[in-house]
């Protein structure tokens, strides 16, 4: 219809509130909502990658929050990728995520990546969103939604 945008905004609550173009290279931003509510922006990245997956951590300035994204090295592609539930018993976790909040682990139950640049290029640029539940307090659920711009994968 006339005047409509070519990419209408998603009605899903899992859409990232941030655009990669708003971030400096090497930076990330994410919102935590639900049981906890906070806004995190930074560039403190930690790596815990394995032979079969990139594991990239985004650490808040206070270190209260650490988001970990798990991206299998054999499944790198541009575009939207659905996350699978985080399974601590599996070494190869697949496309999934987790967040530590004050050292308590919250594991992804569902979510998605939208890679704007093919991760096979060696950098991570795109958006992510996931819903995670506390391993210790199952009634505590958070939604994490954010973006990352040109963070090296290593």
* pLDDT tens, residue by residue, 100-141: 999 999 999 999 999 999 999 999 999 999 999 999 999 999
What single string gives the DSSP state of each residue in 131-149? EEEESS-TT-EEEEEEEEE
Say if CB 99 and CB 65 are below 8 A apart.
yes
76 forms beta bridges with none
Q: What is the pLDDT of residues 38-79, one digit of tens each?
A: 999 999 999 999 999 999 999 999 999 999 999 999 989 999
d(CA 20, CA 29): 9
pLDDT beyond 80 at 146: yes
The pLDDT score that the predictor gives to residue 96 is 97
CA 15, distance to chain mean position in Å, is: 11
What single string gives the DSSP state of each residue in 62-77? TSSEEEEEEEETT---
Residues written for the chain: 154
pLDDT beyond 50 at 148: yes
Q: Could you tell me the pLDDT band of residue 80, with boundaries at 50, 70 and 90?
A: very high
Strand intervals (E) in the chain: 27-34, 38-42, 44-47, 53-59, 65-72, 79-82, 96-101, 104-115, 123-134, 141-152
Nearest to 124 by CA among 39, 47, 59: 47
């Amino acid at each position: 219809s006339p005047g409509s945008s070519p990419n209408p905004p998603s009605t899903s609550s899992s859409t990232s509130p941030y655009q990669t173009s708003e971030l400096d290279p090497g930076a990330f931003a994410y919102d935590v909502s639900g049981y906890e509510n906070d806004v995190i922006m930074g560039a403190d990245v930690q790596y815990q990658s394995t032979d079969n997956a990139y594991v990239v951590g985004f650490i808040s300035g206070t270190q209260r929050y650490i988001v970990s994204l798990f991206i299998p090295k054999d499944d790198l592609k541009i575009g939207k990728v659905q996350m699978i539930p985080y399974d601590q018993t599996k070494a190869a976790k697949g496309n999934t995520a987790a967040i530590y909040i004050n050292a308590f682990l919250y594991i992804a139950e569902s979510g998605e990546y939208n890679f704007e640049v093919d991760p096979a290029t060696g950098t991570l640029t795109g958006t992510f969103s996931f819903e995670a539940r506390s391993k210790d307090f199952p009634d505590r659920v958070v939604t994490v939604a954010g973006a990352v711009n040109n963070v090296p994968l290593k």
